[in-house]
Structure 1
Amino acid sequence: MKKYLLLAATSLLATSALADVTRHALPNNSTFPISRAVEVSPETTLIFHSGTVPGPVNPDAERGSREYYGDTETQALNVFKRMEDSFKELGVGFGDIIKMQVFLVGDPTMDGKMDFAGFMKAYTKYFGTKEQPNKPARSAFQIAGLAGGPNMLIEIEAVIARPN
């Protein structure tokens, strides 16, 4: 009997921890990899992660050039890797992100339009996958520029929920 009570209590605790974050799917069975909304319980710790920009992918190239940073997809992958390193130090992961804001600079090779498709190629490697199915609420904006220079095309900030 005690074994069953312990098992039930353990199951209840696991359910409680999972219940700290509720992700609401997009309507009409949309497969787009974001949540319509995400809610957290009052007991959840929120971490506001500052914007992350890409580092050089080719440090031998001219500093700040397109070759130095790469295209939007390359920069997004670089940003996600940098975020992953930061998350490890914080004890969280991509599945804990509840809100993401993505700032994309218009790509000069695309007549000044943001490369949303390039960003999404990188994003879908981290969100809505079999390995990491949690999807944040997300916004993406085209902006005029970033402090890093004319060929820096992306910055991502996130709100992370860590159950207590």
Structure 2
Amino acid sequence: MRIVKVIVAKTLFATTALVAMGGILPACAQGGVVRHNEAAYPIASAIEVPAGYSTVYVSGIGAPITNLAAPAKSVEAYGSMATQTEESLKRIKDILKEMGLGMGDVVQMHVFMVADAQTKKMDFEGMMQGYTKFFGTREQPNLPVRSAFGVAQLSRPGWLVEIDVVAAKPPHH
């Protein structure tokens, strides 16, 4: 009788443990990127990329000239911070698309910004206007971890922003 009680107790313990893990196992079985979005801002506070994923590093990208009538090395040629951010992210989106990836695969972003020569201020709000068209939307809800930096200058006169990203590419993709 004692042996039966021990077997029943062990079986109940094992069953309870498996049921309790039931909520955990699907997340592990999916093996996807885990985004922690505790931040009150449209960026992830942390991201976990599982084993087996490869990382894709996209070099710093700035905006193309959008106003051909403006002097080539001027801010007017490239547009406002919002325009430059949006155009830079469009270029990044195209690069990722060529690799079979999308903006939802971006796990890390660095944004380098310079102050506008006329206002002497960095237009963080303008950068956010461009950024939020690509991240945290209904169509693309994934958020990367992100750092934003104010820098003295960028490699191309007229650029207000340059962005580099890291994307996580799932195995067998």
Q: Same fold (TM over 0.5)?
A: yes
Q: Which runs of 5+ in 2 are unaligned?
A: 1-25
Larger radius of gyration: 2
Does the 8 A contact of 1:17 with 1:163 survive in 2? no
Change in 2 beyond 3 A, CA 1:102/1:18: farther
Pairing 1:68–2:80 present: no
Q: Distance in 1 between matches of 2:84 and 2:109?
A: 16
Does the 8 A contact of 1:20 with 1:44 survive in 2? no
Q: Which runs of 5+ in 1 are unaligned?
A: 1-13
Which of these residues, 148, 157, 161, is aligned with residue 140 of structure 1? 148
Q: Tell me the amino acid that sits aligned with residue 33 of structure 2.
A: V
Q: Hey, what does 2:12 align to over in structure 1?
A: none
Q: Hey, what does 1:21 align to over in structure 2?
A: 33
Q: Distance in 2 between matches of 1:99 and 1:43?
A: 18
Instruction: Encode CA deviations 1:49-102: one digit per residue, 9 max, x unaligned.
Output: 111011101123211112211110111111011111111111111000000000
Q: Hey, what does 2:55 align to over in structure 1?
A: 46
CA RMSD of aligned residues (A): 1.6
Q: Distance in 1 between matches of 2:28 and 2:99?
A: 22
- Percent of pairs identical after alignment? 42
- The size of the alignment, in residue pairs, is 146
- Which runs of structure 1 show a deviation greater than 2 angstroms over 4 or more consecutive aligned residues? 14-20
Q: Hey, what does 2:167 align to over in structure 1?
A: 160
Q: Tell me the amino acid that sits aligned with residue 73 of structure 1.
A: A
Q: Hey, what does 2:107 align to over in structure 1?
A: 98
**TM-score of the aligned structures, taking structure 2 as reference length:** 0.79
